[in-house]
Amino acid sequence: MIARTVLTLTACAGLCGAGSPPEDLVQRAAQAPPEIAAWLLLKQATPDRMPSKERRMAVLEEAFDLAAKASMPYPLVRASAEVTSDSIAGKRQEASLQNLDGLGLQVRAVLAMMNLSPARAQEMALSMEVPAPPKAGCADLLVARVDEYYGLALLVARRGFTAKQREEGRPAQYLAHIIGMSAGPGQLLGAVRLVSQFEANEKDRAVLIAALGSAMRTAAAEPRAFAAVPELDEEVDALVRQSPEGGPLAEAYKAFVGVQTSKPCPAEEAPPTLLSKGPALELTRALGSKAGGSGEDDARARFSAVLHRTESWRPEQGEEAMEFFQSKAAVYRSLLDAAPDDALLNATIASFVGFLRDTPVKTENPAEWMAQFRRVLQPWAPAGQRSVAMAREEIRRSGDAVMNLLAESGESF
């Protein structure tokens, strides 16, 4: 791969201009992992790209169904101050920021449907299960954040019921059910906001606050998840002050805090960075070494040798797939930063594209894979936009259906 020639901007072969037609992308989306397919479909289901209302509704429903199969069910936030951006946990959180989690994608589909068919949007929202993230232990550096679901539930309670259903108290019953299913600190933050922001009569409000207090009293200890929602104290205090039933709620919250703080997690050490050990450390050291000379030819030879060793790097027996993937991707990023000329930059891009094409992470953990794919299509100094042209041509050469679909989508990466 190292001997590839330098590409010019004209080598984009049609990939540098406007994206493929929306219907073509919709049809080809089935080739991608569910969350990437849903993400692409949501971007196509807009009036300017898809004039037909009926077609947009069908695409939104398809995206909603695909989102339920996402490998990352909820967005993730740091639950430890020790998590750094260049660690495995940091990269997983970075991947979460792309909005490829199942919850976020489903919420977006429902919100888009709300503007086309409020009744169908309500049906979709009601079909969603109340988020139930796995209980966070002290070893978990990231925890699920489910605020979006509760924001959607509030919107449905306000806009999604008929006048008759409102007279029957259905919106409050719907919210009470959700609150009753809320067990973790993150869920309870959403539940508190539901009660604070929902305009209910005195009777319904009392029912909602009672349900909230009950949920707090039965919540299990999750000190790591509790630490990730510092705003909960302020939200509960505001609700207590504005509610006639604030006294019992304050007592319930006091009991909840007691449970969460009774056995705090021990202080944790900062997780290792991706380039701090093993082959990743050796390769980056070799890349920056001056051994063998400091001239231009020496630098190119040293760079080529590191690139060749990176290409040949395979996971060790027993090594976690994600640790290998993120560590090798980090070395490729170091190579992209250090490429001494366009020819070696092109060679590095080609090698990185081949790695992304063949890794099982593409289908097993699409969000983490997508975060690295985005880097391939970013301009790298000093080549700038020339590197984007190189990347698009290498993606075309790869023949990979998913990468070509993304490159032709017209989206900015």
pLDDT tier, 13 (very low <50, low <70, confident <90, very high otherwise):
very low
For 77, the enclosing helix (H) or strand (E) is strand 76-78
pLDDT value for 6: 35
pLDDT tens digits for range 91-143? 999 999 999 999 999 999 999 999 999 999 999 999 999 999 999 999 999 99
> Rounded to an integer, what distance in angstroms lies between the CA atom of residue 39 and that of residue 108?
10
pLDDT tens digits for range 201-238? 999 999 999 999 999 999 999 999 999 999 999 999 99
pLDDT value for 241: 93
pLDDT tens digits for range 42-70? 999 999 999 999 999 999 999 999 999 99
User: Which is nearest to 331 in space by CA: 264, 366, 280?
Assistant: 280
pLDDT value for 8: 34
- The SS3 assignment for 149 reads helix
Identify whether the C-beta of residue 18 lies closer than 8 Å to the C-beta of residue 28: no
Q: Is residue 360 scored above 90 in pLDDT?
A: yes
Greater confidence, 28 or 410? 28
> Rounded to an integer, what distance in angstroms lies between the CA atom of residue 247 and that of residue 145?
28
Q: Is residue 373 scored above 50 in pLDDT?
A: yes
The dihedral region occupied by 381, where left means phi > 0, alpha psi between -120 and 50, and beta the remainder, is beta
Domain ranges of the chain: 18-261, 278-407
Mean pLDDT of 177-200: 95
Give me the torsion for CA of 229, 214, 156, 172, rounded to 10°: -150
Task: Please provide the size of the chain in residues.
Answer: 413
The listed range with the strongest mean pLDDT (157-166, 172-181, 286-295) is 172-181
pLDDT value for 291: 57
**Backbone φ, ψ for residue 136 (5° rounding):** -80, 130
pLDDT tier, 41 (very low <50, low <70, confident <90, very high otherwise):
very high
